[in-house]
Chain A
Amino acid sequence: MKLISTACPRNCYSTCSFKVAVDKGKIINFEPHPDNRATPEGICLKGLSYKERVYSKDRILYPMEKNRAGIFKRISWNSALKQITEKLEYYRKTAGPQSVLFYESSGMSGLLNEISLKFWELYGGATTSYGNLCWPAGLEASRLSLGANRHNVPWDLENARLIIMWGKNSVETNIQESIPLEKALEKGARLVVIDPRRTPTADKSHLLIQPRPGTDGALALGIAKILIDTGHIDNEFISNHVYGFEEFRNSLSSWSVSKVEKITGIPSPYIQKLASWIGEIQPMTILPGYGMQRYTNGGQTIRCLLSLQVITGNIGKPGACWHYANLQSYVFDKLLEPLSYYPSLSKNTPFRRSISKAKLGIDMLAQRDPELKMAWVERGNPLSQNPDTNTIIKAFRKLEFIVVVDQFMTDTAREASIILPAKTMFEQSDLIGSYWNPYVQLRQKLIEPPGEVKPETEIYRLLAKGLNFSESIIDTHFPDSNDKAIELWLKTKLKVYPDLNYDKLKEGPQMAPNLQEIAFEDYKFDTPSGKIELYSSHAVELWKVDPLPDYIETEENIQENDSKELFYFLTPNTKNRIHSQFGNLDVIKQFDPDPVLDIHPEEAQKRNIKNGEVVRVFNSRGELRIKVRYQLGLRRRCVFTANGWWISEGGGTNLLSAPRETDMGYGTAFHDNLVKIEKIV
């Protein structure tokens, strides 16, 4: 039995290091990896469920083809590849390469993923997708203000005296953050949670503020106004490091506590209390979640929140940081997020045509010259994860040929003409970074792919051969999938950083080169003014928003006089899944068997809905039928269900969400989503 170090490549803050016990080519067990200071104690239940995921009876292990009756049948690799190459040649010739949509998402991180894009470039191009489903509005807001997305190392949180989890439910979505959080609390720090739900994170808090969804920006501006009026700001810090403070102060003249109360639904004493804590308790760390910025006002909301961190001088010190995203370990990326999400501007590149991830369905249907004929989907499940599912289904069904690379029969895989089996994280080595901890890590190959699974690099290499790419091109761009070749490819990447040694990476996580443990401790900000920009002319140029952080109502909102029928539909993540991954495994299902809709019993009672009853949740875009669960900690007029359930499992929150982009960063505003709830009679 061998213990081998690896790291989890999911789209999750924690990016845990762990060790895997492997015996005779089989995964036996997992051990914590104490060398990762951010995740020393152990991995979450999802990580532990990998054993089932790898060996699941439901895993797709062979290429499959959908026959005329709509049933998937196993086919040989030869036949799958032959069909795909023929189609690729045919569409390139008849409609041009842009008639093929290449769609990828965040299903598995790793540097080798860039080979996919290389393939499509050499194919002659493809229609790609721009933007991102997750966090770009907040990234862009932070970039515009601070010049970069960086935060203090995770364990620095224990130095904070005031911790504000603003829309972040770290206890479920970043479990290992509980360690420094608890240390800080033990030392007497205050914890404020701002969330319409009483989350498990809120259960640790001293103060829980439950605003009307989408109004966080107003709350922040109101507090900024109080802080400035009462002199609870760091004048020295502001004059040295902040650009546009005067303009910001002037813009707040119309704000008052009563206005904030009216907008957010938070009683003024609580606004005052929060303001006085922010004004008086130092150092402060605000940890904004990614949910608030998935509204149409998301980017500006994040800028409003960030202003509190800035005017109180809580930047660049231990215990004081804007804890949004830490991209310091993404050392291999030529272009960091969110800039890498922008669509290509030049007209002659192979990827000149790019469609919006946020509006995938309508954009797919709208393409002309050429129309989309084929799609290739990897590392993603757009049918359940992109907004406006019904239109996406329509767009997919209009295509002539769909290839999906996946491990399981997801909603998207069901739409495929051909499914190709995808590797798991244990079946090919790769390098990964983290957007939370400061490590570069080697995700090591531990076992041979089961069945006839081939890593994507191999699939592309075979397709390149099928399409008669020249020998030299194939050898330069598509490494052989044998372990030596992959190792060599990764080592070439590492050459830029002499400190990052492959053999050391095999033992465990390595600190990113040039890491700032305390972000911005040098007070250098990569903005046009070189200072933290409260006033950003770039924001105006790029996004046509106000140069200052401001508050605008979200597109879908409930005002006092609106129909009592409407609810805010909250669809965040839980500990049991990463978006649409993991929920299909028995080990997860035993704790979370079906989708449920949390509702306040008072709201339910008004509609004569009993605990456990199945109700209809609907709006003009679609409907869901879900079992109700009474939740007394939820803000009234809000309902909650977890994102990521497959439609085939009775879920699919995006059946109800709207295809909209956020105000900046090409994000996806699917949280702007009102629904009605109806008893089924």
Chain B
Amino acid sequence: MRGFIFDTNKCVACHACVVACSVENDLQAPYHWRDIDVYNEFSHPDLAVFNLSLACNHCEEAECMLVCPANAFYRDQDSGAVLVNQNLCIGCKYCTWACAYDAPEFNQELRIINKCNLCYSRVNGGDVPACANNCPTGALAFGEFNSLTQKDIAKGFPETSFKPAIRFVENRSARKPETHLSPISNSIQHINFLNEPNRKVHLKNEWTLLLFSLMLPLLTAGLTGILAGYLFVNPFLFGLIATASLLVSALHLGKPFRAVYAMRNIRTSWLSREIFSYGLFYSSALTYLIIFPRFQYLGILAIVFGLICLFVVDRVYKYFEDGSGIRINSSWVFFTGLLWISLILQEPLPLFFVIFLKLSLYLFRKIKLWSGLKIQQKIYSFFRIIALLTAPLLYALDVALIELFYPLFIGEVIDRLEFYSENYIKSPSRQVYEEVIADLGLASNQYES
């Protein structure tokens, strides 16, 4: 096996590797494929300071390749480099979520993903990559691995199942200098000197996904209502909303006109499956409603596709973490789908079961993260909880079940908004940040902004 070999003892965060890469690959600032992460950047006296220089690890089980819906990733057999086919990439940025090493980079001008290519033509010509070639201190090298002296994980390096092709030279112990400055006073503990790294998910970038994930449960439940005869909707209006949802999610792509490529990887990509299952739902639902409204089995089939799609959507978000420790989220669209379906079928038992489930998940998360929340967040949470609680209350007061839709809907919107604004995705800078917090013995939420 061969790949990058990195020696933390030697790296001085000089950024020469980053620039050497940019020169070799003609990258214009601010784009760069290699990045330096500094552990304890602000020099807390209790901790050492060290650096990691990371780019793509050209993983043996490359997650990016598995999850790319367009199957745009491929491996150069000779060098082992994981590469992106620029003509296939649809710019969905899903690989930037999947890669815990932050290697794929979305280029705003080209509207597609670019990433470290291992300088494969150099490597195939018997040379080493430009970054390793130019590291002034010899910290970054490229070559065959030696399991005796090298380790496959280093402090600050996210652990994954991807089998990254990188090895580390162990850090000498006791790297922290002994010094005499008076210790940091306790009052400083509460100052936000830790800057939270980029979460990778931002509501302002993901609003199209937000809309889609609000619409899909409604559409599935709506179809159920129509089929069961509780709801009367002009089939063309339904078609319009379903089409709009599709178009909105295509807007999320860097290359919307390549949207059909998104179904090139149903075999391993949840995103591909999402689009595929939505396609099945969409076409069966519209065929049923508009062409064969009498053919009820087609309607049932469409609902099944809708449910499958709901399930798949939640899988797409499997990289999201909120720090609460559980990986089931109260805003999962599958639950929301069930909520609306029971509501439209006016079935109190399943309805209150779903409400109870959502409420417990929500409360569990909020209690865990409460102290780190900003005041507005706390107010929103309060409304969300009220929304879930009023439903059984109003029901007890004999309000028609269907009327509960309004408070519940507001609650669902809040929860989903939170989903996109409170979650983050693993990355080296996140890992370094969390390890610093852990090493300082502090609860993470004490430091969050």
Interface size class, chain A: 35 or more
- Asked if A176 contacts B23 (CB within 8 A), the reply is no
Given contacts A44-B16, A210-B181, A270-B180, contact A51 B23 (CB under 8 A): yes
- Asked if A205 contacts B177 (CB within 8 A), the reply is yes
Decide if A43 is an interface residue (CB 8 Å cutoff): yes
Decide if B48 is an interface residue (CB 8 Å cutoff): yes
Decide if A291 is an interface residue (CB 8 Å cutoff): no
- Asked if A182 contacts B10 (CB within 8 A), the reply is yes
How distant is the Cα of A186 from the Cα of B32 in the complex, in angstroms? 32
- Asked if B177 contacts A206 (CB within 8 A), the reply is yes
- Asked if B136 contacts A39 (CB within 8 A), the reply is yes
* A586 contact set on B, CB distance < 8 A: 28-30
B296 to chain A, nearest CB (A): 60
B187, closest chain A residue (CB): A605
B residues whose Cβ falls under 8 Å from a Cβ of A: 9-10, 12-16, 18-20, 22-24, 28-30, 32, 42-45, 48-50, 130, 133-138, 172, 174-175, 177-182, 184-185, 187-188, 191-193, 195
Q: Which of A585-631 contact B (CB under 8 A)?
A: 586-587, 589-591, 601-602, 605, 611, 630-631
Q: A44, A198, A633: which contacts B136 (Cβ < 8 A)?
A: A44
How distant is the Cα of A262 from the Cα of B44 in the complex, in angstroms? 26
B176 to chain A, nearest CB (A): 8
A-B contact pairs, 13 of them (CB 8 A): A41-B134, A45-B14, A48-B20, A48-B134, A178-B12, A178-B136, A203-B177, A206-B178, A207-B178, A587-B29, A591-B18, A611-B193, A633-B43
Known: A48-B134, A176-B136, A632-B193. 4 other contacts (CB 8 A): A44-B136, A171-B12, A193-B177, A206-B174
- Asked if A182 contacts B178 (CB within 8 A), the reply is no
- Asked if A29 contacts B29 (CB within 8 A), the reply is no
* A632 contact set on B, CB distance < 8 A: 42-45, 184, 188, 193
* B16 contact set on A, CB distance < 8 A: 42-45, 47-48, 175
A155 to chain B, nearest CB (A): 13
The 8 A CB mask of A171-201 against B (1 = contact, 0 = none) is 1100110110010011000000100001010
How distant is the Cα of A176 from the Cα of B134 in the complex, in angstroms? 12
* B187 contact set on A, CB distance < 8 A: 602, 605
* A630 contact set on B, CB distance < 8 A: 42, 191, 193
* A204 contact set on B, CB distance < 8 A: 175
The A contact surface, by secondary structure, is: mixed
How distant is the Cα of A200 from the Cα of B18 in the complex, in angstroms? 18
Given contacts A48-B20, A200-B49, A575-B14, contact A602 B180 (CB under 8 A): no
Q: Which of A524-575 contact B (CB under 8 A)?
A: 575
How distant is the Cα of A198 from the Cα of B48 in the complex, in angstroms? 11
Decide if A263 is an interface residue (CB 8 Å cutoff): no
How distant is the Cα of A3 from the Cα of B187 in the complex, in angstroms? 58
* A270 contact set on B, CB distance < 8 A: 180
Decide if A202 is an interface residue (CB 8 Å cutoff): yes
How distant is the Cα of A677 from the Cα of B30 in the complex, in angstroms? 32
The B contact surface, by secondary structure, is: loop
How distant is the Cα of A48 from the Cα of B23 in the complex, in angstroms? 7
How distant is the Cα of A601 from the Cα of B184 in the complex, in angstroms? 9
Decide if A267 is an interface residue (CB 8 Å cutoff): yes
How distant is the Cα of A205 from the Cα of B180 in the complex, in angstroms? 14
Q: Which of A280-311 contact B (CB under 8 A)?
A: none
* B28 contact set on A, CB distance < 8 A: 586
Given contacts A32-B133, A48-B20, contact A601 B177 (CB under 8 A): no
Q: Which of A129-182 contact B (CB under 8 A)?
A: 171-172, 175-176, 178-179, 182
- Asked if B29 contacts A48 (CB within 8 A), the reply is no
How distant is the Cα of A650 from the Cα of B339 in the complex, in angstroms? 56
Decide if A648 is an interface residue (CB 8 Å cutoff): no
How distant is the Cα of A205 from the Cα of B48 in the complex, in angstroms? 10
How distant is the Cα of A193 from the Cα of B50 in the complex, in angstroms? 17
How distant is the Cα of A566 from the Cα of B64 in the complex, in angstroms? 54
- Asked if B180 contacts A210 (CB within 8 A), the reply is yes
How distant is the Cα of A32 from the Cα of B135 in the complex, in angstroms? 9
Q: Which of A16-62 contact B (CB under 8 A)?
A: 29-32, 39, 41-45, 47-49, 51
How distant is the Cα of A172 from the Cα of B138 in the complex, in angstroms? 15
- Asked if A44 contacts B135 (CB within 8 A), the reply is no
- Asked if B188 contacts A602 (CB within 8 A), the reply is yes
How distant is the Cα of A208 from the Cα of B43 in the complex, in angstroms? 13
What 4 pairs between A and B have smallest CB-CB spacing?
A633-B43, A42-B134, A208-B177, A590-B29
* B49 contact set on A, CB distance < 8 A: 198, 200, 203
How distant is the Cα of A176 from the Cα of B30 in the complex, in angstroms? 26
- Asked if B177 contacts A30 (CB within 8 A), the reply is no
